Amino acid sequence: MPSILVIDDDASISETLDLYLTEEGYKVRTALTGTDGLNKYVEEPSDVVILDIRLPDVDGFSVLEDLKEENENVKVIMITAFHDMETTINAMKGGAFDYIHKPVNVDELDLAIKKALKSMEMEKKIDGLLMEPSRTFRVGDIIGTGNEMRDIFKTIGTVSQSRTTVLIQGESGTGKELIAKVIHNNTSPDEPFIAVNCSAIVETLLESELFGHEKGSFTGAVSRQLGKFELARYGSVFLDEISEMSVNLQAKLLRVLQEMEFDRVGGKDKIKVNARIMAATNKDLKAMVKDGRFREDLYYRLNIVSITLPPLRSRRQDIPQLIDYLLTKINLDLHKKIIGISDEVMDIFMQYNWPGNVRELENLLVRACVVAKGQVLGVGDFPELAREEAKPAGETSVDLFKSAAPGKFLTLDEVEERYIRKVIKETDKNKGEICEILGVSRPTLERKLEKYGITFERE
């Protein structure tokens, strides 16, 4: 009979879990303090520990640390009434098996317990499985309370315990580089974080940027230059828009990932790679592999741990929090005192589909804050929204995603073309500024303009 220890200072919760879990066939013990819980575990270790973060005598994270010292393979499911990212990541980094919010959903708890027991059974078959000790945690600025974001926080906490390769996928503007920085700050915060945009540098220069070159290795190489892999030391190299890397460079990157060493352009000495490599893309790499545009072996080397960021339109519950956070940041940058947005604007924001994701939301708020006269942003502070309000009833910004046929939605390419045309038409910007709004490089914008036959000459 599997055994479970419940450590929670709320007597009603402890009793409820005791009754429920006993009926489910578990041997259950309870403790109302961290000290009592630790003593009971030392006297008789349980298979699973359900641990509250807030306890009357000691912090739940301290209890977790003591439990892991007693048995590094103990399965601890932490529960809390708090929904912030910091506690979620700290719990997972500290070695918690799972993290559940109050009020406890018994189905979610039951699933977590079964997974913990199954994991424990598998571990018994493996000798020498060790977990790394938890590290000091630094929180990144990521907002999210939904299940998808909570799972991402858990993954960050878990992957931060190692230096494995990470592939971050998601649409433009979802915050892929921010995720990479959070992982870096939780792994090697005192080492360099070096980001390389693979689409912004031509192939010949990108090779030199990544691997460095020796003096005289090509015309213009007047001195030795260290590459990003070398400069990163024991930090992180973030390869953004990895899908834009040429097939030739893909082969060289694969060799680096396989052998964890490289040589500079024109050099002969092997140089060891000590940095963690993370890559990001807004493209479907699997589809590119099938089409022969991306190496299959490189894809699997990069995809050791995969994090897929949801688009903003699929986590609308985060929009109010994101607005609060972004306005705080913008106020500091612009020396403003904007306290929020009107209910009317919030209603529009909650219905809009955000093709540019969080980056688009931030750009809208920045522009509105620059021109705002009051402390609350209204429709008049958003020229884009004012134009939408002037349209006939039913023709809202959400229609950017719909075709003329009732109930039929556009393809991603059609949406992208519409959005690019909309940004060009409704903003008096040059190509450089348009690239910033769209979150793409200049070469990428040029390719998209050619692809969709868009004429745009403003420089």
Mean pLDDT on 128-139: 32
Cα gap 7→67, rounded to integer Å: 12
**pLDDT of 130 higher than 50:** no
**pLDDT of 29 higher than 70:** yes
- The whole-number pLDDT of residue 213 equals 79
- Give the confidence band of 147 by pLDDT, cuts at 50, 70, 90: confident
- The whole-number pLDDT of residue 458 equals 61
Q: Which among 68, 85, 75, 230 has a CA at the least distance from the CA of 133? A: 68
Instruction: Output the average pLDDT for the chain.
Output: 83
**pLDDT of 290 higher than 70:** yes
- Asked if residues 83 and 50 have their Cβ atoms less than 8 Å apart, the reply is no
- Give the confidence band of 124 by pLDDT, cuts at 50, 70, 90: low
- The whole-number pLDDT of residue 457 equals 66
Q: Is the peptide bond before 103 cis (omega within 30 degrees of 0)?
A: yes
Each residue's pLDDT tens digit, 154-210: 999 999 888 899 999 999 999 999 999 999 999 999 999 999 999 888 877 888 889
Cα gap 350→369, rounded to integer Å: 19
- The whole-number pLDDT of residue 113 equals 93
**pLDDT of 373 higher than 70:** no
Mean pLDDT on 348-353: 90
Q: Is the pTM of this model over 0.75?
A: no
- Give the confidence band of 134 by pLDDT, cuts at 50, 70, 90: very low
Each residue's pLDDT tens digit, 245-285: 998 899 999 999 999 998 888 777 889 989 999 999 999 99
The region of weakest confidence among 35-49, 133-147, 250-264 is: 133-147
- Asked if residues 184 and 157 have their Cβ atoms less than 8 Å apart, the reply is no
Domains and CATH numbers, the chain: 3-124 (3.40.50.2300), 147-308 (3.40.50.300), 313-452 (1.10.8.60)
Specify the higher pLDDT residue, 424 or 178. Answer: 178
**pLDDT of 352 higher than 70:** yes
Cα gap 450→199, rounded to integer Å: 16
Q: Which parts of 132-286 are beta strand (E)?
A: 166-169, 193-197, 212-213, 225-226, 236-240, 261-262, 271-272, 276-281
The region of weakest confidence among 324-333, 357-366, 372-381 is: 372-381
The region of weakest confidence among 35-49, 117-131, 438-452 is: 117-131
**pLDDT of 395 higher than 50:** no
The secondary structure element, H or E, covering residue 92 is helix 85-93
- Give the confidence band of 434 by pLDDT, cuts at 50, 70, 90: confident
Q: Which among 109, 37, 119 has a CA at the least distance from the CA of 77? A: 109
The region of weakest confidence among 57-66, 263-272, 391-400 is: 391-400
Q: CB-based contacts of 35: which residues, under 8 Å, 6+ apart?
A: 57, 58
